Amino acid sequence: MVIEELKESGARVSKGDVVAAFDRQYMQTRLDDYQDTVTQAEASFRTLKANLEVTRKAYEQSVRTVRADLEKARLDLKTIPVQSAITTETLKLAEEEANARQKEILAEARYVDEIERSRLRLGQSELKEAHNELRRVQANIDRMVVKAPLDGIAVVQPIIRGTEFTTIQAGDQLWPGQLFMKVVDPNSMIVNTFVNQADVEAIRIGARARVRFDAYPDLELPAHVYSVGALGRTGRFRANFLSEIPVTFRLDKMDPRVIPDLSVSVDVVVGSESGPALAPREALFTDSGADTPYVFVQGPSGWDKREVTVGLMNNTTAVVRSGLRPGEVLAAERPPERIKTQ
């Protein structure tokens, strides 16, 4: 399919506006052919109805003729008393023949009627099929003119043309199912991302998130998980056995600076907890065989070892529920000097 018309990327469109049109010459030729087919089918159907009407009239005339012959034969039988023996036998045979002929004609009536109705149904079916094909071709032509489904911004998708990576434009050839444009509602936008298979298990639909924009380092917008994909894909820069799962976020708040196709990073809130202090994870230590973590707190005479109770943590930070006060200085690695234990 070759694009003949295409709305420029970034243009504002209203619902129902034509945003793209494909080459319809072949489909238009087919439409003309089917219009001729429909015209011919309608003429054939009218001819069929006329022929059936002629057949019916001829049959009705045959019925009237045999009935008249039978009635005449019965009237002739009333003259038997004044007729000779040979004439009498002739009149009786004529009455029997007329009676048999009438029975034969009337017996054929049911079959003649069925044949006429069958031919009429067949003609109607052929005419209906021709009309259906015409509507199908017309619908295909209408589908080759793409209209905006909503008010928004037209976003033309990229394509590889030879060795050049550029956007789709009029004259490009597309394959069925190829995405060539998005119409984005700037008042309700989503973020399409891919999450490592090891992390997606903790993500739930509706979970809160924070979206940061590479183009605007000071911009952070709230969002929530809108959908989680069922099938993964192989990561572009990872081994084949490491898959990424598509996750979609919907922005809960908009900003005039946000436009389609911006690159972002997303932090998903999988759990939250407030505590008296936060500590970097590299400052938490545990001994072999022990489960209780501890930290090294800087004191007047050196580093003091102190056990702490830890709550929720992420890859960088942990919530310290007890054993630590805000503002205290922690060691990021084990101090080399002598340690005073509390």
Tens of pLDDT, residue by residue over 109-157, are 667 777 777 888 888 888 888 888 888 888 888 888 999 999 988 988 8
Q: What is the pLDDT of residue 297?
A: 92
Q: What is the dihedral of CA 87, 91, 97, 99, to 10 degrees?
A: -170
- In the prediction, which pLDDT does 50 show? 84
pLDDT of residue 223: 96
Asked whether residue 46 falls in the same domain as residue 133, the answer is: yes
Gyration radius from the chain CA atoms: 45
pLDDT of residue 342: 54
Residue reference for tokens 């589908």: 143
Sequence-distant (6+) residues with CB within 8 A of 207 are: 224, 225, 268, 269, 270
pLDDT above 70: percentage of residues in the chain: 95
Average pLDDT over residues 157-164: 82
> For residue 294, what are the contacts with CB-CB under 8 A and spacing of at least 6?
284, 285, 286, 305, 306, 307, 308
Tokens 């830890």: give the residue: 310
DSSP state letters, 94-144: HHHHHHHHHHHHHHHHHHHHHHHHHHHHHHHHHHHHHHHHHHHHHHHHHHT
Looking at residue 255, which CATH number applies to its domain?
2.40.30.170
Tokens 């049959």, residue located: 59
Within a domain: 158: no
Question: Is the model's pLDDT at 247 over the cut of 90?
Answer: yes
Same domain, 219 and 139: no
Residue 340 has pLDDT above 60, yes or no: no
CA dist 30 and 138 (Å) reads 9
Do 66 and 123 fall within a single domain?
A: yes
How crowded is residue 98: how many other Cβ atoms within 10 Å of its Cβ? Answer: 20
Cα–Cα distance measured from residue 1 to residue 121, given in angstroms and rounded to the nearest whole number: 39
**Which amino acid is residue 296, in one-letter code?**
F
DSSP 81: G
Residue 166 included in any domain: no
pLDDT category, 284, cuts 50, 70, 90?
very high
Which has the minimum average pLDDT: 205-214, 233-242, 293-302? 233-242
Name which of 288, 290, 281 is nearest 320 in CA terms.
Answer: 281
- d(Cα 182, Cα 175) in Å, to the nearest integer? 16
Which secondary-structure segment (H or E) carries 227?
A: strand 220-228
pLDDT surpassing 60 at residue 212: yes
How confident is residue 240, by pLDDT bands cut at 50, 70 and 90? low
* Nearest C-alpha neighbor of 296 from the set 323, 274, 265, 277: 323
Please say whether the beta carbons of 20 and 9 come within 8 A: no
- The single-letter code of the amino acid at 256 is P
pLDDT for residue 236: 60
Mean pLDDT to the nearest integer, 269-298:
87
Distance of alpha carbon 118 from alpha carbon 44, whole angstroms: 15
Last residue of a domain, one of 116, 143, 170: 143
Q: What is the CATH number of the domain that holds 312?
A: 2.40.420.20
Q: Which of 247, 268, 289 is where one domain is finished?
A: 268
88 and 118 within one domain? yes
State how far the Cα of 72 lies from the Cα of 320, in Å rounded to an integer: 122
Residue reference for tokens 């190829």: 178
Q: Is residue 7 part of a domain?
A: no
Domain that holds residue 292: 277-341
Query: Is the same domain home to 197 and 250?
Result: yes
- Indicate the pairing of strand 220-228 with strand 243-251: antiparallel
Same domain, 196 and 126: no
pLDDT band at 78 (very low <50, low <70, confident <90, very high): confident
pTM, entire model: 0.54
- pLDDT tens-digit series, residues 225-238: 999 988 887 756 65
Q: Which of 64-78, 178-192, 209-223 has the lowest mean pLDDT?
A: 64-78
Tell me if 137 sits within 8 A of 30, measured CB to CB: yes
Measured CA angle at 50 (ends 47, 54), to 5 deg: 135
- What is residue 147's three-state secondary structure? strand
Categorize the per-residue pLDDT at 281 as very low, low, confident or very high, splitting at 50, 70 and 90: very high
Contact 318, 281 (CB under 8 A): yes
- Are 264 and 282 members of one domain? no
Instruction: Name the domain count of the chain.
Output: 3
> What's the CA gap between 248 and 253, in Å, rounded?
15
Lowest mean pLDDT among 3-7, 91-95, 143-147, 211-215: 91-95
Secondary structure letter of residue 201 according to DSSP: G
Residue tagged 């040979």 (tokens): 86
- What was the pLDDT predicted at 308? 92
